[in-house]
């Protein structure tokens, strides 16, 4: 009888605490609302299960094949990073910053190196202090970014010109944060080049921020699935500071760059010394303001990715020259693409006019395949062949890469700008950096139709755009006599 009562009690207990489907649903909702990292852990677990399933399937399919461990690890790491928040290279949602007076310093500080973005900077600050400039934490950490006195002494300056550099001064803290981050970024990049560590650049830099560069090097990097560590905790804040899709400069619906595009070798101008990085001159918000009606295909991420492969572009000469070149390039592609609206040539009736059948390679993609595409409206089979050869892409046989891959599209525009003389005697790059002025860039691109008094309205439209963009970038456009051809 006692045993039966005990069994009955156990059964009653089990029936009392046995959750039904509704209870389970509310439990999951509660966990999601209260503990965002739980969601990340569940996603990572699902990812692991998929990885193991794929690995098992691959082994069953081919027992004799040796698995590519390095490639698999990189693929899985990338997938996990995307699940946990990505790389922070999206358009900045400034409205999420509690103190709007800090938006400008964040944007300005984030230009100190290529790896850093306003999204990353704001996320780190939020995680560190919740934007409490007076916070004093453990181990002597202070201010918005919770920097130690030792770090601030090395990287802090009087950035707001208050007469005193202070770790508790919001603007001073933000700029010191950026300098320290970029210093770590340079050092982790070198460790990657020396093959002393493995991992993605951003994760390694964030890990170095948290536990020190020496520890990261001693560990050989960070584990692929280092869940709960600082890099993943910070990434959890990225979405908060990322603009909505319709306002973002980098649209995540963009086609993923082709494998051949990512393998593009760096293109440089042997006659020029790159004195700076052009990507630092143009922010995502400035790009969006310049092209308010642009097609989402023309993403800021695609542009900066292409610019990184042409370091001499907007990287030659002093800052004034560099900004003028950037403004000149953007003004010309603005004209060629209708304000970055058109990805392909509008007049389809003319599509068959760009096949030079006299070339030995002909037009293998078809008579109408070499019409204008991209920001500079690349056209003719000869140009597709030359651009493809220079960029390491088979554009002669796959011209649609220029309309399907934003990075490739921007690369073709920069290839023309940096290497082709067109109707001029010099490239657009050498014209603007050598003192020829904006007018000579027009001659290079469309001089046969617009220079020498021809199509003055089109020339004026280019000049107007150049002046407008130069103002945005904070540079004088140059003498009026140099603006037309």
What's the CATH code of the domain at 306?
1.10.530.10
Q: In this structure, are 361 and 443 located in the same domain?
A: no
Q: In this structure, are 131 and 9 located in the same domain?
A: no
Q: Helices H, strands E: what count in the chain?
A: 21, 0
Q: Is 336 a catalytic residue?
A: yes
Q: Residue 105's closest CA among 173, 195, 3?
A: 173
Instruction: Kindly give, in sequence order, each residue whose CB lies less than 8 Å from that of residue 188, ignoring residues fewer than 6 positions away.
Output: 197, 201, 204, 205, 208, 213, 216
In a domain, 206, yes or no: yes
Domain end position, chosen among 84, 107, 137: 84
CA gap 347, 322 in Å, rounded: 35
DSSP-based three-state secondary structure for 221: strand
Q: In this structure, are 379 and 426 located in the same domain?
A: no
Q: In this structure, are 315 and 448 located in the same domain?
A: yes
Q: Residue 405's closest CA among 294, 283, 260, 266?
A: 260
Q: In this structure, are 120 and 211 located in the same domain?
A: yes
Q: In this structure, are 74 and 136 located in the same domain?
A: no
For residue 280, what pLDDT is reported?
Answer: 82
> At 381, which CATH number?
3.30.20.10
For residue 395, what pLDDT is reported?
Answer: 97
For residue 252, what pLDDT is reported?
Answer: 34
Q: Residue 386's closest CA among 340, 421, 434?
A: 421
Q: In this structure, are 21 and 44 located in the same domain?
A: yes
What's the length of the chain?
485
Q: Provide the domain limits for residue 386.
A: 350-403
In a domain, 175, yes or no: yes
Q: In this structure, are 140 and 231 located in the same domain?
A: yes
Domain end position, chosen among 62, 84, 106: 84
In a domain, 251, yes or no: no
For residue 53, what pLDDT is reported?
Answer: 40
In a domain, 413, yes or no: no
In a domain, 247, yes or no: no
DSSP per position, 416-478: HHHH--TTSSS-HHHHHHTT--HHHHHHHHHHHHHSTTSSHHHHHHHHHHHHHHHHHHT----
In a domain, 254, yes or no: no
For residue 223, what pLDDT is reported?
Answer: 52
CA gap 66, 53 in Å, rounded: 17
For residue 200, what pLDDT is reported?
Answer: 81
**pTM for the full predicted model:** 0.48
Per-run averaged pLDDT (10 residues), the chain, 485 residues: 35 38 43 45 47 36 35 42 64 90 90 90 94 90 93 91 90 94 92 86 90 90 60 88 57 33 36 53 91 91 89 91 96 95 92 94 96 95 95 96 93 95 84 91 90 92 96 94 94
In a domain, 59, yes or no: yes
Q: What share of the chain is helix, strand, coil (3-state, %, to 5)?
A: 55, 0, 40
CA gap 182, 176 in Å, rounded: 10
Q: In this structure, are 333 and 355 located in the same domain?
A: no
Question: Of residues 91, 171, 325, 336, which has the active-site annotation?
Answer: 336
For residue 253, what pLDDT is reported?
Answer: 32
Q: In this structure, are 333 and 470 located in the same domain?
A: yes
DSSP-based three-state secondary structure for 167: coil
Q: In this structure, are 443 and 372 located in the same domain?
A: no
Domain count, the chain: 4
Q: In this structure, are 34 and 53 located in the same domain?
A: yes
DSSP-based three-state secondary structure for 274: strand
């Amino acid at each position: 009888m006692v045993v039966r009562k005990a069994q009955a009690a156990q059964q009653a207990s089990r029936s009392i605490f046995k959750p039904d489907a509704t209870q389970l649903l509310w439990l999951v909702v509660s966990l999601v609302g209260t503990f965002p990292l739980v969601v990340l852990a569940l996603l990572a677990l699902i990812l692991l299960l998929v990885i193991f399933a794929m690995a098992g399937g691959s082994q069953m399919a081919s027992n004799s094949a040796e698995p590519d461990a390095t490639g698999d690890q990189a693929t899985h790491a990338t997938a996990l990073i995307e699940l946990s928040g990505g790389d922070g290279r999206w358009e900045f949602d400034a409205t999420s910053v509690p103190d709007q007076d800090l938006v400008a310093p964040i944007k300005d500080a984030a230009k100190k190196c290529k790896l850093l973005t306003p999204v990353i900077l704001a996320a780190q600050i939020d995680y560190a202090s919740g934007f409490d400039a007076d916070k004093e934490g453990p181990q002597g950490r202070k201010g918005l970014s919770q920097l130690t006195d030792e770090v601030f002494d090395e990287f802090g300056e009087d950035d707001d010109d208050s007469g005193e550099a202070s770790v508790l001064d919001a603007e001073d803290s933000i700029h010191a944060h950026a300098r320290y981050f970029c210093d770590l970024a340079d050092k982790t990049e070198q460790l990657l080049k020396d093959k002393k560590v493995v991992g993605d650049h951003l994760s390694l830099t964030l890990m170095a921020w948290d536990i020190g560069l020496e520890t990261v090097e001693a560990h050989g990097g960070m584990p692929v699935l280092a869940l709960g560590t600082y890099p993943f905790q910070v990434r959890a804040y990225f979405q908060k500071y990322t603009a909505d899709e319709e306002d973002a400069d980098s649209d995540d619906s963009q086609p993923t760059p082709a494998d051949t595009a990512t393998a593009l070798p760096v293109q440089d101008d042997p006659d020029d010394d790159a004195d700076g990085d052009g990507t630092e001159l143009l922010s995502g918000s400035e790009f969006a303001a310049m092209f308010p009606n642009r097609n989402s295909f023309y993403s800021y991420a695609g542009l900066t990715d292409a610019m990184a492969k042409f370091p001499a572009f907007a990287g030659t000469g002093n800052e004034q020259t560099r900004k003028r070149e950037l403004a000149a390039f953007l003004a010309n592609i603005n004209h060629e693409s209708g304000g970055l609206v058109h990805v392909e040539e509008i007049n389809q009736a003319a599509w068959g006019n760009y096949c030079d059948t006299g070339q030995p390679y002909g037009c293998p993609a078809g008579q109408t395949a070499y019409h204008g595409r991209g920001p500079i409206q690349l056209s003719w089979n000869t140009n597709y062949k030359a651009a493809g050869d220079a960029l390491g892409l088979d554009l002669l046989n796959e011209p649609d890469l220029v309309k399907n891959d934003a990075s490739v599209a921007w690369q073709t525009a920069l290839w023309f700008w940096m290497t082709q003389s067109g109707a001029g005697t010099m490239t657009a790059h050498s014209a603007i950096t050598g003192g020829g002025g904006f007018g000579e860039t027009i001659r290079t691109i469309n001089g046969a139709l617009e220079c020498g008094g021809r199509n003055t309205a089109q020339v004026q439209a280019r000049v107007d755009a150049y002046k407008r963009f130069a103002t945005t970038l904070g540079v004088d456009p140059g003498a009026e006599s140099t603006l037309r051809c």
